[in-house]
Structure 1
C-alpha cells in the first residue's frame, strides 16, 4: 500500500492510499483494497468515513481508499487544503494544471 498524497506540513482533514494495483499480466488485487478498507474501518476514531473511490478509467485500475471529509471533484484549491498542502503549493499546482478540465468525480 503506497501513500497517495504527501503531507506538506498543514493539518490534513482527508487522506487516501492506493490499493489493489494490477500486476503485469494479471487482474487487479481488489482483495488488497478490501483488506485495507476493513483495517481502516476498525479504527473509526483515526479513519472516519472510509470509502473507495471509483476508478475513472479501465476497470483494471487500482482502487483508491479514502477517509475523512468528502472532497469536491471540481475544486482543486479546496481539495489541496483538505489534504493539508501549503497554499503556495496549491497555487503552483493549480497554475500548472489550469489547462486541464476536471471531468470526473473524485470520491
Structure 2
C-alpha cells in the first residue's frame, strides 16, 4: 500500500471513528484531522470537501455483499439490519450532515438497485 493510500485510509478510518462516537456535537474536518494526526492541507489533497469524505466513508462502511443477487425486499432487509447494527454511526451521520439524504439516494440508486 502506498503512502497516499495509507493516509487516505487513515482519514476515512478517523471519520468512521468520529461518527461512531456517542456525541451530540457536530463533527468537523478539524475533529477528523486531529484524530488522523494530519494537516488540513493533507485532508484536502485527498478529498475536495467534507461531503466527498462522507460519501467515501459511507461507501466503505456498507455491506460487502452484492445486493443485486437478492430480491428488492431482501436487499432492503439486509440494509435495514446493517443500519440497525451501526445505529450510532448513522444517527450521527444523519444528525450532522444535512446532505446525507442526497448521498443516500445517489449511492443506493447507483450501487444497489
Which structure has more helix as a fraction of its residues? 2
Tell me, yes or no, whether TM beats 0.5: no
With normalisation by structure 2, the TM-score equals 0.30
